[in-house]
Structure 1
Amino acid sequence: MTIGSHIAQGLTPLIDLIYPPRCPICGESVAQQGGLCSSCWSELVLPSEPACASCGRPFGSDVISQGSQCAPCLANPPRHAGISAATLYNDPSRRLVLAFKHGGKLGLAPMLARLIAARLPERDEGDPPPLLVPVPLHRWRLWRRGFNQAALLARELEKAGKGELAVDLLIRRKPTPSLGGLGRKARERALKGALAINPRRTGLIANRDVTLVDDVLTSGATSDASVALLLKAGARSVRIACFARVLEEALNAPRTAPALDTETPEVLGTSGAT
């Protein structure tokens, strides 16, 4: 344990006295800072098995054979190496994301990242750690918000031993509008030329596995564009990791977690990443 950890541990009782720990979703008292109450935890929906071998979309049936693919992936095979989502996007996960991204509760980053980390596959012994690449914000949005939520999650994933942070490997060269409600062609036009590989970081990526990190995966348009750029730049593979994934059809048969926005995503159909 580091000196900083010892100091933080020693200050915990004082912090709890001044700011009693409460559930960030409902406000009920909880045992420690950054935790959820049992009621809200049970309302989170975790992606479950069996699932698509390519994108991780839950099938909702236990009669699907191992290695099966969902219809969108069969129709248009994705270029990514899989999607690791901590939760499916529902009201509790939405409230967590909004509190984190717009409510200034940056202290939620370790908890959200722990849930993401639990879904990431273990790497083979001897393989170099994957690069943790956050989906970038344009500098104007970064200036207004003060932080990139994806970068905060990627930093916590690095602390958890899930890879090597490459915070500025991807850059956003121009601002883009909200992609919610746009068709595929309109999304492609909005993203054209918006993302790029940082020319100062090109030496990092050759033959490396990459984990692309974001808070919410909606249409998959931004992640698809990012995956294409990373593969073209020489990445061996790119896995998408997020806290919440919008899959409305999977919520029709809820799978809840076990007991112990102003930018609301729209459900849009995109193969491999919805």
Structure 2
Amino acid sequence: MSWLQTKPLRAGLQTAVALIYPPRCLGCGTQVESDFGLCGACWRETPFIGGTVCDGCGLPLDGAEDGHRIECDACMDQPRPWRQGRAALLYADRARRLVLALKHGDRSDIARPAGRWLARAARPMLQAETVIAPVPLHWSRLLRRRYNQAALLAQSLAAQTGAACCPDLLIRPHRTPMLDHATAEQRKTILREAISVHPRRQHRMIGRPVLLVDDVMTSGATLTACAEACHAAGAASVDVVVLARVAKDD
């Protein structure tokens, strides 16, 4: 048996590491009690979503749940090609900074706590045999960024829930321009046929529920393209969960 497998020695090592590298807040860097956490101030500045939400996209809604499906105006105007959608955070304040740090700031450490937040939002949607899949990046963008933040989130969510994860279930064979400032209709046009199921992974989703994971939902165009590809390839159902939901489409 390795000495690292004995509890006293492992605990001692963890204590020594904590003394040398004390845990820091993910948001501001101040010292906190445990790794991968937020200090009190950053926690209060992070808009976690709870209460009544839209069943289509997870946007917070006024009023109380009544046992019936509730949707926001956007989801009623443009029905989603997935069963249910949820979001852990609103894309604002500290949450926006955390998402941008994960996406563009090489802060892959944020994915671990984000997996816990995603799990809380996604648990009601998880079914037996659910396969978790991230929104894909084109290889050229992946090469430049060095990682797919959606894949990190999907793997962290899978670790939290025990569900299967297939990081390359979906692929983006055609490079698309950045969508940050595109309208909803422009996003839909750009993404049409831009995402497909990996031909060597399709067997993993046929007849099974798929849970799509992404960092941010704005108009939902990217997730729509992913969901349509999954349905066409034989998925039993599709749900989506994102780390953050933009409160109002651009």
Query: Would you say same fold, with TM above 0.5?
Result: yes
User: Aligned equivalents of 2:48 and 2:72: distance in 1?
Assistant: 18
2:89, 2:245 within 8 Å by CA — same for their partners in 1? yes
Residue in 2 that maps onto 1:159: 159
Change beyond 3 A, Cα 1:56–1:242: closer
| Counterpart check, 1:129 vs 2:129 | yes
User: Aligned equivalents of 1:102 and 1:4: distance in 2?
Assistant: 36
Instruction: Give the share of equivalent positions with the same residue, in percent.
Output: 38
Q: How does 1:60-209 map to 2 (within 5 A)?
A: 60-62=62-64, 65-67=66-68, 68-122=70-124, 128-209=128-209
The Cα of 1:121 is off from its aligned counterpart by 2.8
Gaps of 5+ in 2: none
1:132, 1:166 within 8 Å by CA — same for their partners in 2? yes
The one-letter code of the counterpart of 2:112 is P
2:27, 2:98 within 8 Å by CA — same for their partners in 1? yes
Change beyond 3 A, Cα 1:71–1:87: same
Change beyond 3 A, Cα 1:184–1:216: closer
1:208, 1:235 within 8 Å by CA — same for their partners in 2? yes
Residue in 2 that maps onto 1:215: 215
The one-letter code of the counterpart of 1:183 is T
User: Aligned equivalents of 2:100 and 2:125: distance in 1?
Assistant: 31
| Counterpart check, 1:241 vs 2:249 | no
1:117, 1:162 within 8 Å by CA — same for their partners in 2? no
TM-superposition CA deviations, 1:95-150 (whole Å, max 9, x none): 112222222222221101101001113468xx533111011111111111111111
Could you say what secondary structure the match of 1:212 adopts? strand
2:82, 2:238 within 8 Å by CA — same for their partners in 1? yes
1:21, 1:32 within 8 Å by CA — same for their partners in 2? yes
**Runs of 4+ that moved beyond 4 A:** 2-10
Residue in 1 that maps onto 2:35: 33
User: Aligned equivalents of 2:232 and 2:31: distance in 1?
Assistant: 49
Could you say what secondary structure the match of 2:35 adopts? coil
User: Aligned equivalents of 1:117 and 1:14: distance in 2?
Assistant: 31
Residue in 2 that maps onto 1:43: 45
> What value does the CA root-mean-square deviation take over the aligned residues?
2.4
User: Aligned equivalents of 1:213 and 1:153: distance in 2?
Assistant: 7
User: Aligned equivalents of 1:153 and 1:10: distance in 2?
Assistant: 30
Gaps of 5+ in 1: 249-266, 269-274
The Cα of 1:4 is off from its aligned counterpart by 7.2
Aligned residues: 246
User: Aligned equivalents of 2:202 and 2:63: distance in 1?
Assistant: 43
TM-superposition CA deviations, 1:21-55 (whole Å, max 9, x none): 21121222101221100111122112232223333
2:56, 2:86 within 8 Å by CA — same for their partners in 1? no
The Cα of 1:9 is off from its aligned counterpart by 5.1
Change beyond 3 A, Cα 1:161–1:65: closer
User: Aligned equivalents of 1:105 and 1:9: distance in 2?
Assistant: 26
User: Aligned equivalents of 1:104 and 1:4: distance in 2?
Assistant: 31
Change beyond 3 A, Cα 1:61–1:163: same
TM-superposition CA deviations, 1:224-259 (whole Å, max 9, x none): 1101110111111111111111114xxxxxxxxxxx
1:123, 1:129 within 8 Å by CA — same for their partners in 2? no
The Cα of 1:173 is off from its aligned counterpart by 0.6
TM-score between both structures, scaled by the size of structure 2: 0.88
TM-superposition CA deviations, 1:180-228 (whole Å, max 9, x none): 2222332223213321111111111111111101111122110011011
User: Aligned equivalents of 1:198 and 1:4: distance in 2?
Assistant: 39
User: Aligned equivalents of 2:5 and 2:145: distance in 1?
Assistant: 27
Residue in 2 that maps onto 1:256: none
